[in-house]
Amino acid sequence: MALNCGILGLPNVGKTTIFSALCSTPAATTNYPFSTVKANVGIVNVPDIRLDKLTSIFLPERKIPATVEFVDIAGLVKGASRGEGLGNQFLSFIRDAAVYTHVVRCFENSDVIHVNDKLDPASDIETIDIELALADLQTLAKRRERAEKSLKNPAEKKNTEFVLSILDKIDPALENAQPIRSLGLSDEEKTAIYDCHFITAKPVLYVCNVDEDGIKSGNPYTEAVKKRAASEGTEAILICGKFEADLCGIEDPEEKQAFLDDLGLEETGLAALIHSAYKLLGLRTFFTTGKDECRAWTIHAGDTAPKAAGVIHTDFEKGFIKAEVYTCDDIFKYGTEAKIKEAGKYRLEGRDYVVQDGDVIFYKFNL
């Protein structure tokens, strides 16, 4: 499973610059609103030093990291839900995302036009929240109409009444620009309205687009965004679009690390964003190794060994027998699987085993 991440925000906040840097994918950027006239899509590898270390130990023919799909849509403006601007045309791309990142401009530059002629992150966030809520209200109205028609069918009446009760709970929240994710819906309620693909039900990460002076310590604008993120139980990541663009043009790993060291950064903005998204969504990584390939696989926290095997291939889950397991830390410490076995760290796990982040697994299965 690949993580899908939507990128949205007001026009001219640096969304496309950040997208291009993160994905190493050229995309049109200009100093005026609505330069993005179609959704940009890019696939990037998940940075994971553990996979690099495993590759240096096993020396496989291929190294295959986990991936993330980023989708950058046109900027949203006040009135987008009524057809203003271009962004509302592309919200369908965000509806399919597991999480969306809200890019907020947190730097001053008179040469870069602000769509509202004023730099105010709190107001910018509110504008986007209102438009997303209005878009969800349109979806809700259509779903309610379908549900009310279904009430006439006795076989669907009980389920339909449950759906309508959820819509009744959601409606007033959206009317007040309150995101659905803040309502604490139960898993049963979420499943019942899953077909709506409400945007405000999705987790959100805030990305503060800063200048180089604000990368490490931030500024008053980033503090406003962090305060908002904390109130929603999420994170605000500081990224300098210009710096990331310069960084992605450096191919030599040592030179790239020196570039990061100069600014006192431990990782790139891309790595910080992906790691935060994984944390927010409760995602975990396990590895398979061998002479052919070393590979990272993405699963959800709590997935059992058979379910994790199904990420590799559905036949692995159906024919699961057992899993041979050790941890990345084990192989890094002992150096070989033989020595891991000598140390008693090589385990055989069954169907009930919950796969842990950093597990290295070899599956036994029968078709």
Average pLDDT, the chain: 87
> Cα dist. 85→73, 80, 267 in Å?
12, 6, 35
For the record, the structure tokens of 354 come out as 């919950």
Q: Characterise 184 by phi-psi region: left (phi > 0), alpha (psi -120 to 50), beta (else).
A: left
Which domains occur in the chain, in start order? 3-280 (3.40.50.300), 302-365 (3.10.20.30)
- Per the model's pLDDT, the better-predicted residue between 320 and 96 turns out to be 320
At residue 265 the predicted structure's pLDDT band, cuts being 50, 70 and 90, is: confident
For the record, the structure tokens of 199 come out as 């945007």
Maximum Cα–Cα distance across the chain: 68
User: What's the rounded Cα separation, in Å, for the pair 113 and 367?
Assistant: 61
pLDDT above 70 (res 70): yes
Give 68's Cβ-side CA count (13 Å radius).
Answer: 29
pLDDT above 60 (res 35): no
What pTM was computed for the model? 0.84
- Per the model's pLDDT, the better-predicted residue between 258 and 343 turns out to be 343
The 10s digit of each residue's pLDDT in 224-244 is 999 999 999 999 999 988 888
